Structure 1
Amino acid sequence: MDVLLWIIAGVLAAALAFSGVFKLVLPRERYVASQPWAADAPSWAPPAIGVLEVAGAVGVVLPALIGVAPVVVPVAATGLALVMAGAVAMHVARREWSALVPSGVLLVLAALVAWARFGPYAF
């Protein structure tokens, strides 16, 4: 199970690091063109979410990988689950059903890592 959790954490980290960097690097106009929800959000929201996603992506793998403060892993996974729960709620409210699937999958993966690393498979 430990290997599976590492794989899940790696996939979660890769997906959210990509998503977060995308939000941080693209100019607002280009980001809004690809992500319609951002047009209705304050200008600071996508970069702020991007920072949370990148920090969470680092937090779910790096502390355990280097063996320093591995308790950060489930805390970061919990934070990512909260971010993704917000994304799911926003996509439901906007009736963006196609965007709901990736957000929902990432929510489930983050919640699974948080549960497992806080509980039966803690470091």
Structure 2
Amino acid sequence: MNLALWIAAGLLAAVALAGGITKTFVPKEKLARANGGGWTETASVGFVKTLGVLEILAAVGLILPAVLDIAPVLVPVTAVCWVLLMIGAMITHLRHNEAKFIALNLFYLALAAFVAWGRLGPEPF
């Protein structure tokens, strides 16, 4: 179970880091042209960049507290925050008629819920 939770957290951290770097360092106009970035057309540059920074922080929060054994409770807290972020992402994609991305967001939500449940319940640090 511990290994499965580490794999799930690692996968989520990789996704969060990739998405965060993209949103933080790729120009908004280029994101809007990318597949799945249509929602950025109506979002402000500041919002997109802030979301990117939050995703980078989520990547850090899913791994480093447990690895460094400094406040490891932040791992499930970060996973719960990721669940909330994915709910917002699903709503945003639905509003912009990007329904094909909802399944992917739902998968990430399920992984984050698994990490939160596992680290708060049967397999805490």
Q: Distance in 1 between matches of 2:53 and 2:117?
A: 23
Matched, 1:114 2:121: no
**Structure 1: which 5+ runs fail to align?**
none
Structure 1 runs (4+) deviating above 3 angstroms are: none
Task: Indicate conservation of the 8 Å contact 2:13/2:60, yes or no.
Answer: yes
Determine the C-alpha separation between the residues in 2 that align with 1:17 and 1:64. Answer: 17
2:39 maps to: 37
CA contact (8 A) 2:12 2:108 kept: yes
Deviating more after overlay: 104-113 vs 2-11:
104-113
* Matched length: 123
Q: Which moved more, 1:1-10 or 1:107-116?
A: 107-116
Unmatched 5+ residue regions in structure 2? none
Deviations 1:72-91, CA, capped at 9 Å, x for gaps:
10111111111111001111
Q: 1:5 and 2:5 equivalent? A: yes
SS in 2 for 1:60: helix
Q: Which of 96, 99, 103 is matched with 1:97 structurally? A: 99
Give 2:51's aligned residue.
Answer: 49
TM-score (norm 1): 0.94
Partner secondary structure for residue 45 of structure 2: coil
* Percent identity over paired residues: 40
- TM-score normalised by structure 2 residue count: 0.93
Mapped to 2, the partners of 1:18 and 1:43 lie a distance apart of: 18
Q: What's the CA shift for 1:96? A: 0.9
CA distance in 2, matches of 1:97, 1:119: 33
SS of 2:84's partner is helix
Q: RMSD of the alignment, in Å?
A: 1.1
